[in-house]
């Protein structure tokens, strides 16, 4: 969720912002939040996700607004700080470039084969 938010809004959301957005989506019947804070779309949420649309990133917020019912935050929804902190730390953790990941995957030695990198 943090990565998508950052891509659309070009900022990292606060815990309170995620809490408010998730609470509004849950109150609107579009998602369910489980005990581990996994967000799952309801049938109605899935229907909206399947709606075909071809919009640019700039047009996305208004396109989403057209699909959603009126939403209001649910103050009873509380995102535990430790869940947010772990998700933020994971998002901000540097990742190796894709080229490095692909090279490692292609040159990984297998227990089976002749020992030549990339052969198994």
- The band of 82, judged by pLDDT with boundaries at 50, 70 and 90, is very high
In this prediction, residue 113 carries a pLDDT of 54
- The band of 8, judged by pLDDT with boundaries at 50, 70 and 90, is low
Average pLDDT for the chain = 80
Higher pLDDT pick, 2 / 72? 72
Work out the average pLDDT over 38-55.
86
Contact indicator for 26, 72 with CB cutoff of 8 Å:
no
Tell me: the pLDDT tens digits for 10-37? 778 889 989 999 999 999 999 999 988 9
In this prediction, residue 66 carries a pLDDT of 83
pTM over 0.85: no
- The pLDDT > 70 percentage for the chain reads 81
Tell me: the pLDDT tens digits for 110-119? 555 555 555 4
């Amino acid at each position: 969720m943090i990565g998508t938010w950052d891509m659309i809004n070009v900022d990292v959301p606060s815990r309170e912002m995620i809490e408010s957005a998730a609470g509004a989506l849950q109150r609107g019947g579009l998602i369910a939040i489980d005990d581990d804070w996994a967000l799952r779309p309801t049938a109605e949420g899935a229907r909206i996700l399947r709606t075909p649309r071809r919009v640019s990133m700039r047009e996305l917020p208004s396109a989403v607004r057209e699909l959603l019912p009126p939403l209001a935050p649910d103050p009873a929804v509380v995102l535990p700080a430790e869940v947010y902190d772990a998700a933020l730390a994971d998002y901000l953790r540097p990742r190796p470039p894709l080229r490095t990941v692909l090279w490692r995957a292609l040159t990984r030695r297998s227990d089976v084969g002749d020992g030549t990198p990339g052969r198994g």
